[in-house]
């Protein structure tokens, strides 16, 4: 069973390298990090089934941050806040620089989208604090799939949560598709 699982992981990695090599006109070698996880391991970690259509690099980058504690204004593995986490992951995975706070991300970097239109990699915005301007978010995460998103929670650090949890249903503001 263990041999079959590692064979599947190797086949996934070969497929990813081949697809990446064919994606552009210039062929480039992709060096996978030593902590790169396969689809089954990532699926167990996130509670979703990872398929070839999913961005395995997004899931791997998120996995590297799981458990990092929350630190307001932080942007390292010693501590990170929600917008810092989103900005770092977006820069690493998509090569896009986003604003450093959730309100500016929504205002400058995104087109608003409804919850039912969310796709992997979209941003999810919440207003978790009372007061402040109406419609201005103070929390952001990255949508994965099946209602799940990854974010830096102020109480539990970087975690995966569900949009259907009462807290996130109550504080939901909007989705955002990065331009």
Catalytically active residues are: 82, 139, 151
Q: Is 20 exposed, middle or buried (0-12, 13-18, 19+ CB in 10 A)?
A: middle
The Cα–Cα gap between 158 and 67 comes to 5
User: Which residue do the tokens 């409804």 mark?
Assistant: 114
- Identify the DSSP state of 122: -
| Cross-sheet strand order for the sheet of 157-162 | 110-113, 172-178, 123-126, 139-145, 148-153, 157-162
User: CB of 97 within 8 A of CB of 84?
Assistant: no
């Amino acid at each position: 069973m263990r041999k079959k699982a590692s064979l599947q992981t190797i086949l996934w990695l070969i497929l990813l390298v081949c697809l990446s090599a064919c994606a552009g006109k210039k062929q480039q070698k992709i060096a996978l990090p030593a902590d790169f996880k396969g689809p089954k391991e990532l699926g167990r970690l996130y509670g979703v089934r990872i398929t070839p259509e999913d961005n395995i690099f997004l899931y791997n980058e998120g996995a590297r941050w799981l458990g990092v504690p929350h630190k307001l204004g932080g942007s390292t593995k010693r501590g990170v806040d929600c917008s810092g986490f989103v900005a770092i992951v977006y820069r690493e995975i998509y090569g896009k620089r986003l604003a450093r706070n959730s309100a500016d991300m929504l205002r400058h970097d995104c087109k608003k989208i409804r919850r039912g239109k969310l796709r992997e990699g979209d941003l999810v915005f919440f207003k978790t604090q009372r007061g402040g301007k109406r419609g201005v978010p103070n929390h952001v995460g990255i949508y994965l799939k099946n209602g799940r998103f990854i974010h830096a929670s102020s109480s539990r650090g970087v975690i995966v949560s569900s949009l259907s949890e009462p807290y996130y249903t109550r504080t939901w503001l909007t989705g955002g598709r990065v331009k």
